[in-house]
Amino acid sequence: DVKVTQSSRYLVKRTGEKVFLECVQDMDHENMFWYRQDPGLGLRLIYFSYDVKMKEKGDIPEGYSVSREKKERFSLILESASTNQTSMYLCASSLLRTGANEQFFGPGTRLTVL
Amino acid sequence: DAKTTQPNSMESNEEEPVHLPCNHSTISGTDYIHWYRQLPSQGPEYVIHGLTSNVNNRMASLAIAEDRKSSTLILHRATLRDAAVYYCILRDGYGNKLVFGAGTILRVKS
């Protein structure tokens, strides 16, 4: 069965801390994505990657960076967490880089920055 | 970027069909129309997608207007487990950009 896992379901951090959110997929997918989800705003794309060591900015990359050293793992990094980064973070993957491909989502990490 | 517009919420009775509309008047020729749903405390789940023709799968049907400026997700017999937020999403032919609408909250009454 297809699986995308995220390192934590819930995370509480303090302002200014460096935060790592990890995502692992076991489907040998080329493409991986990071979104954040906020009430009333739906899902917004932060970054995506279509190959190892490749990354592209999504719609709201400010304040975030990403790392993809291995095909199965895609990390989202908050260099200096701020309270406006309190959100639900969702990781997804898809097999191919075409519009016809479905995305598989992880369960999400609810991050609270105090 | 092409955007989608959906009603904020809809309500249905159990065992009845549900038609969830989506407008995407600025859709481009290479955009695929995807539908996902999200149950409480879970990540989004793929439902169906299409390009020009109507599509059916085990979960739902997708009806696409001839001019592609709108589409309708059809759940043939709603169950309580179908209560979720349904997102209509445009995905370009290169798979790079996804445009999420605010989604429709579907409530199913028993």
The predicted structure's pLDDT at residue B98: 64
Contact B87 A42 (CB under 8 A): yes
pLDDT in tens, A59-110: 899 999 999 999 999 999 999 999 999 999 999 998 877 777 788 999 999 9
Contact A99 B103 (CB under 8 A): no
Q: How many helices (H) and strands (E) does chain B have?
A: 0, 10
Distance between CA atoms of B16 and B4, rounded to whole angstroms? 26
Identify the top-confidence range among A88-97, B57-66, B91-100. Answer: B57-66
Distance between CA atoms of A4 and A104, rounded to whole angstroms? 7
Q: How far is CA B6 from CA B30, B35, B52, B81, B104, in A?
A: 21, 12, 19, 21, 6
| Across A7-23, average pLDDT | 96
Q: Does position B18 have pLDDT exceeding 90, yes or no?
A: yes
Lowest mean pLDDT among A83-87, B39-43, B48-52: B39-43
Contact A105 B45 (CB under 8 A): yes
Q: B92 — contact with chain A (CB < 8 Å)?
A: yes
Take residue A10 and report the two structure tokens written for it.
């819930």
Q: A56 — contact with chain B (CB < 8 Å)?
A: yes
Closest by CA to A43, choosing from B100, B95, B55, is: B100
**Tokens 């793929």 correspond to what residue?**
B46
Contact B91 A99 (CB under 8 A): yes
